[in-house]
Structures are given as C-alpha cells and as structure tokens.
Chains A and B, each alone.
Chain A
Amino acid sequence: MTIPTFILKNALRNKRRATLSVLSVAVSLFLLVLLLVALREITLPVEGAGAELRVAVRNKISIANLLPAKQLPIIEKIPGVEAVTPFTWFGGKYKGEQGMTFAQFALDPKKLRAVFTEAKMAPESYAAFEAERDACIIGKITADKYKLKLGDKITLESTVYPVTMEFKIVGIYAGTPDDRNMLFRQDYLDESSGLKGQVGMWWLKVKSAQDMPKVISAINNAFANTSAEVRAESERAFQLSFISMWGNIKLLVMLICSAVIFTLLLVSASTMSMAIRERFRELAILKAIGFRRRELFAFILAESFGLAAAGAVIGVGGAYLLFTYGNVAKMTNGMFPSFEVTSRIVGTGALVAAVLGIVASIMPSIAVAKMSVTDGLKTLD
C-alpha cells in the first residue's frame, strides 16, 4: 500500500457519498461552464472580414420605427462611405410555426458583397440574386435544418407587413457569425407590401476604420432635427445595445454563477466535515501510530481535492466535449450557432474546483488539529 492508495481507499469508503459528492461538483461545474460560455457568446464582438467596418443606422426613437428610403442618397454622399444597403425586418412565419426560427431581411442584392463581405456563396447565386425578383438566399444552418436546396420555393407570412410572399432559393451562404438568416430583395418587398419608400434600417460599410467616427457623426448630424432622426453606431455598439435590452445580462449571469459556486462550497464543506467527523477515532489512531498533523492535513486535503478534481473532469470535461463535438445549433434550435468552450473558461472551471477542494478541507483540518489523541480515541462511532 502507498499513501496515495491509502487516500483513495478512504475517499471511496462510502461509495454512495463519494459518487454523490463528485456528481454534485460535476453538475454544478457543468452549469457554470454553460453559463460562462453562453455569456461569452452573447457578448462576443462580431468577427469577420467586414464587421469592424460596418455601421448600423436605425431610427433614433426605436428600431421598430421605419426610415424613409430617400435618406439613401444623402448617406451615400458622405465621405468615407463605401456602400449602403437598406435592411428591413420581415418577421415572417414559416410553415405556420408559432415562433420565428430564422430571421428574414430585405436588402439591396447589389450591395450584398460590398457590405456583408464575409458571406460566401457560389458566384452564380449572387448573379441570380441580383437578377431574379423573387430570389432569396438562405444561411446554411437554416437550409440544413429544413433541408432546403437551390430552386426550392418557400412561403412566408409576415407579422410586420400585411402580406404573404413566395420566394425562390437561389443561394445558400455561409461564413457569417449567424448563418441562419434569409435575405431577399427590398424592391420585391416594396412591390408586394405596397409600402414603397420605407426601410427598416441602413447598413453601410466605411472605407477605413479611421473613417468610422466621422461617418457616424456625419450621418447623425445629417438627419438631426428631421422627422426621421437616426442613430448611427458601429456594429459592435449595435449588438451591445440589443443585449442591454435584456437588462444587465452579465450581472445576472455572474450572480447565478456566484450562487452556484457558493452553494457548491457549502455542500462540499459539509460533506467533507461529515466524512472526517466519522473518522475521528481512526485519525486519533493514526496520530498515536506516529502520523503528524501535517500528514493528516495532507490526507484530508488530498481527499477533498481528489473529489473536486473528479467532479471537474466530469463536469468541465463533459461540457467541453458536448459543446465542442455536439451540434449546439441543433440543440439550441439555432439560438447559438456556435458555443465555444475556451481554454480560459476551462481554466476557470478547474480553478473553481481547486479552490473548492482546498476550502472544503479547511474546517475538518482545523477539527483534526484541535483533537487530541485521547479525545479522539474516546469518540463514539
């Protein structure tokens, strides 16, 4: 027998308790990783070839308010602007589904490549999109989900406009941060809805990062004191403004994480204390045999740490494997196209487990330190 074997045998003496302890750590750490990854995904800056050069322009009062199409030539003339497209939310329901599982937007097909440079699809699809009136392109995630292919026709009933429209799929794109959306032509929407001259918002590309602040300022000023004042902001700021509508999501997630960790700490400390309390007499025997306090501390710490580590391997490791190799987009119904468990998050989970293992061993170690051999020998089972 070696010391590690001795520690392992003690840790597993009550297999049910050890299993439940490990599982409680595992489930809690799995939840912690889940929350941290979700928070990261929600607040992650948009990445892509053009994200840092894109500007969103929406109605200053509310994003639900439309903007006049006549703003287009004014924006196009602003120095630093490379390309502008309308971007109008359609809000269509597909196949009578209750909720919307993919968003649909109307835009200028000729400006697609210029503004959304990261979207990739076959060249003939771009051509068809520009040529055919009822053409649409679909993100790969949605195409795979509904098994849609080129040439298929889909019908959407709008919840925003009093219209049901039929579209023909001419392209399937990928490579954007959100490959779920459907894009179709603004002029087709104008014709079908009869609401020509109104757009949802503008998306534009600036020529360089240096141009962005000037362009944003120029756009805001251009329509100040008009009936359709605008808010122009970078794509990142636009994204964050959406998130802030949910409240302080970061604070909420952090509070939940803290509650999870605190509860886990209490449960683990209590379990360890109980496990050691049952062994006071045995620990007194070990002291009598010649084991010193520091050796007993090491046994307790190793056992506590081992249980926490086992929980971390299952919980954090399980989360990593599930979210890395599982189809998260399918699991979350497309809400999270990606769900990356970064090494930093894995490290956070491991650190929590390590701290847990150490803290849970403190009280039992203090109790053992205070216990004299004679008192320990008198302890009843």
Chain B
Amino acid sequence: MAPNGNIVSIRNLSKIYAQGEIQVTALDNISLDIVAGEFLTLMGPSGSGKSTLLHILAGIDRPTSGECHVQGVDVTKLNESQLADWRNQNVGFVFQTFNLLPVLTAFENVELPLLLTRLSRGQRRKQVETALELVGLADRMRHLPKQLSGGQEQRVAIARALVTDPKLIVADEPTGNLDSHSAQEVLSVLQSLSKQAGKTVIMVTHDPKAAAFGSRTIHLEKGELLK
C-alpha cells in the first residue's frame, strides 16, 4: 500500500481496442486513487469504460498505456503467471451473473480459490465455513447453485471472493440480475465488508440506489473520469 493509505493508484491509464481499422478508446488517460477500506462505486452509461477500468485494476485485462498500482504492485508489469498468482491472493471477484460452477456445491464453489494454496483440507474447510457464515449461508453449504435463490447465489459468489481474505473486492454489476430484496441483501453484505472487515470494495453499477451504499461514487463517460 502507498504511504498515503491508497490501495490503488492509477496514473494516465488508457485502453484502446483495435477493431479492424477502427480504434475504440475505452479509457482515456484516467488517473485515480482509491483509499484502503473504501466502498467505491463506478457509474456511467453503457460503454463508458467502467467495466474496463474494473478489469484492469483487478488484473484480468491490461491497459494500452499508463500505470496501475494495487497494494504497491504495478500490475501492468506482471506476466500472465504472476498476474494469476497475484489475483488469487489479492483480489476477490463478484460478477453480475454469479458465475458459480453448476456442478459444485456452494461449499465447493467457495473452496475453489483455496485449491491453489498450500492449505490443508482442514484449513480450507475452516476458511470456507467462515466465508459462508459471513454471508449468512452456513446452512446452505451442500446445496447446488440450482437449489439456491438468485440472492443466495450471489452471496455464495461473494463468499468465494472473500475466502482467500483479499484486500480488494471487485464487483461488476453484482445486483444486475437480482430483485430489489435480494439486491438489498447483497449490497448490505458488501457494505459490511467495507465498514467492518476493512475490505476495499470497488463496484460497477448502473443503479443509483446501489451506488448509495458506497462511500464514494465516481462517474465515467466515454472513457473519461468526470470531475
């Protein structure tokens, strides 16, 4: 982490996609700092570059230019293998469409990131149970995703994001496929992770009501940060 308490520091970040002869600028010279423990929401119209920014600071996409330091590590300089390891230890992902593996139970889905660690079976079990308790689903461990409601599935996804105890949780439209009640549940969990567990949560959303759960909201439009 930077000495000023920033967990994320982005400087002059750009992302340009080449689609044949046409070049599409998804991000245009973005500079941004995110403080540790913040619940930051990224808002903007469709195509504004919110998800692209999220993907870059989560290490699943690379910028065309610029720097992106997360917890003191310039993720743009890591090779693919290093990036994979870094993601496993430092970032938890929550996606819009839950993306649980349908053949695995809730317990097994949450356990997935831990398979890459050297933890013993017993240690893994303990961490998984803790993560599921945190999201209020300890009694649904043996259920398959198809046996869970949408809100429960998303909470399992959050538990999976938490299980390696990352400092950073990134959520891309986590409530996009949920009804208002389930969305409320999920957002409350994310908020408590930030306020009580000290996690830094970065969430992309279209929904102003969801954005209200955050401690800060920034707006993007056509790849630029709006002041």
Q: Is the CB of B108 within 8 A of A1?
A: yes
Q: Is the CB of B84 within 8 A of A291?
A: yes
Chain A residues with Cβ under 8 A from B58's Cβ?
288
List 14 A-B pairs, Cβ < 8 Å. A6-B112, A6-B115, A9-B104, A289-B87, A289-B112, A289-B116, A290-B87, A290-B88, A292-B85, A295-B116, A372-B61, A374-B55, A377-B95, A377-B99
Known: A10-B103, A282-B101, A291-B116. A374 touches B84 (CB 8 A): no
Residue ID in chain B nearest A10 by CB atoms? B103
Chain B residues with Cβ under 8 A from A291's Cβ?
84, 116
Q: Is the CB of B85 within 8 A of A281?
A: no
Q: Is the CB of B88 within 8 A of A289?
A: yes
Chain B residues with Cβ under 8 A from A12's Cβ?
103
CA distance A266 to B95 in the complex (A): 36
B145 vs chain A, min Cβ distance (A)? 11
CA distance A282 to B109 in the complex (A): 11
User: Among A1, A281, A290, A292, which residue has its beta carbon within 8 angstroms of that of B104?
Assistant: A1
Q: Give the interface centre of B85, B104, B121 by most chain A CB atoms within 10 Å.
A: B104
User: B interface, by DSSP: helix, strand, loop or mixed?
Assistant: helix
Contact indicator per residue, chain A 351-381, by CB within 8 Å of chain B (1) or not (0):
0000000000000000000001110010000
A271 vs chain B, min Cβ distance (A)? 17
| Apart from the given pairs A288-B60, A291-B116, 20 other A-B contacts in the complex at a CB distance below 8 Å | A1-B104, A2-B115, A2-B121, A6-B112, A9-B103, A9-B104, A281-B99, A285-B93, A285-B99, A287-B84, A289-B87, A289-B113, A289-B160, A290-B85, A290-B87, A290-B88, A292-B81, A292-B85, A374-B61, A377-B95
Q: Is the CB of A288 within 8 A of B93?
A: yes
Contact indicator per residue, chain A 3-15, by CB within 8 Å of chain B (1) or not (0):
1001001101100
Q: Give the interface centre of A286, A289, A373 by most chain B CB atoms within 10 Å.
A: A289
A293 within 8 A of B: yes
Q: Which residues of B contact A (CB under 8 A)?
A: 55, 58, 60-61, 80-81, 84-85, 87-89, 93, 95, 99, 101-104, 107-108, 111-113, 115-116, 121, 160
**Number of residue pairs A-B, CB distance < 8 angstroms:** 65
CA distance A3 to B117 in the complex (A): 12
User: Among B87, B115, B121, which residue has its beta carbon within 8 angstroms of that of A3?
Assistant: B115
User: A interface, by DSSP: helix, strand, loop or mixed?
Assistant: helix
Chain A residues with Cβ under 8 A from B111's Cβ?
1
Chain B residues with Cβ under 8 A from A285's Cβ?
93, 95, 99, 101
Q: Is the CB of A13 within 8 A of B102?
A: yes
Q: Is the CB of A13 within 8 A of B93?
A: no
Give the 3 A-B CB pairs with smallest separation, nearest first: A290-B88, A373-B60, A13-B103
B166 vs chain A, min Cβ distance (A)? 10
Chain A residues with Cβ under 8 A from B104's Cβ?
1, 6, 9
Q: In A267-315, which residues have CB < 8 Å from any B CB?
A: 281-282, 285-293, 295
Q: In A1-53, which residues have CB < 8 Å from any B CB?
A: 1-3, 6, 9-10, 12-13
CA distance A295 to B85 in the complex (A): 12
Chain A residues with Cβ under 8 A from B160's Cβ?
289
Residue ID in chain A nearest B52 by CB atoms? A374
Q: In A227-274, which residues have CB < 8 Å from any B CB?
A: none
Chain A residues with Cβ under 8 A from B60's Cβ?
287-288, 372-374
CA distance A374 to B172 in the complex (A): 12
CA distance A277 to B125 in the complex (A): 31
Q: Is the CB of B80 within 8 A of A282?
A: no
B95 vs chain A, min Cβ distance (A)? 7
Q: In A149-169, which residues have CB < 8 Å from any B CB?
A: none
CA distance A1 to B61 in the complex (A): 29
